[in-house]
A = this chain, B = another copy of it.
């Protein structure tokens, strides 16, 4: 049933940008197969690997990583329950980037052959997944801006703000959400040093903005967080369900 609720999360998100019929929803629900667990700190797929399935995150935290020839690693995206981390796989035969399990993670696999069949039958589902990749890419560009233009404190703050919104955790000015990333992971995601992440996090905690502890992000003052981050959630909001193909 956890697998089911993750699928529901995904469909709710999708329906913010794409209008679906009951039939299409049922078609999509038929795809999510057995849920499968991936140990922490392992690559689920590596760039270049042939892929014959895609998946949906049920629990845990995945990261899309890009390795640099000098041995450094950049996290280019995080994926949380209800995300399809690898919609690319629906259209590409080999993995475009590496997917890494940051914490113990459960994913529901979807066979590409099944996906193809459903997309052929319901072209609007293809349209929906296409929009998901577009949104994923907009988020990636926002990350580029975050890393390129903001300095340490704002950069970290922005990441926490984005995750809060994507998880639908923003309920009041003070709240918390599960975010099982280590400070080293945050460093890889923000292009900072673990040491500097540590110090910056301490500053944010001292200022009563936020706090990260044993996998839990505690947002102590959302308004201040938004301000420190220079955060504008516009790039995450889609409230106009379309239907162009099919």
Contact = CB atoms under 8 A, between A and B. Distances in A.
A211 interface: no
A160 interface: no
A119 B68 contact: no
A138 B190 contact: no
Contacts of A48: 234
A144 B76 contact: yes
Given A69-B230, A133-B133, A140-B140, A245 B116 contact: yes
A206 interface: no
A143 B144 contact: yes
Contact of A127 (B91, B134, B142, B150): B91
Given A68-B149, A142-B66, A150-B68, A92 B137 contact: no
Contacts of A68: 145, 149-150, 230
Interface residues of A, number: 56
Contacts of A133: 130, 133-134, 137
Contacts of A246: 120
Contact of A144 (B88, B116, B140, B234): B140
A242 interface: yes
Interface of A: 17, 47-48, 64, 66-70, 72-74, 76-77, 88, 91-94, 96-97, 116, 119-120, 123, 126-127, 130-131, 133-134, 136-138, 140-145, 147-150, 190-191, 230-232, 234-235, 240, 242, 244-246
13 contacts: A17-B92, A68-B145, A68-B149, A68-B150, A68-B230, A93-B240, A120-B246, A126-B126, A126-B245, A143-B144, A144-B147, A148-B191, A149-B191
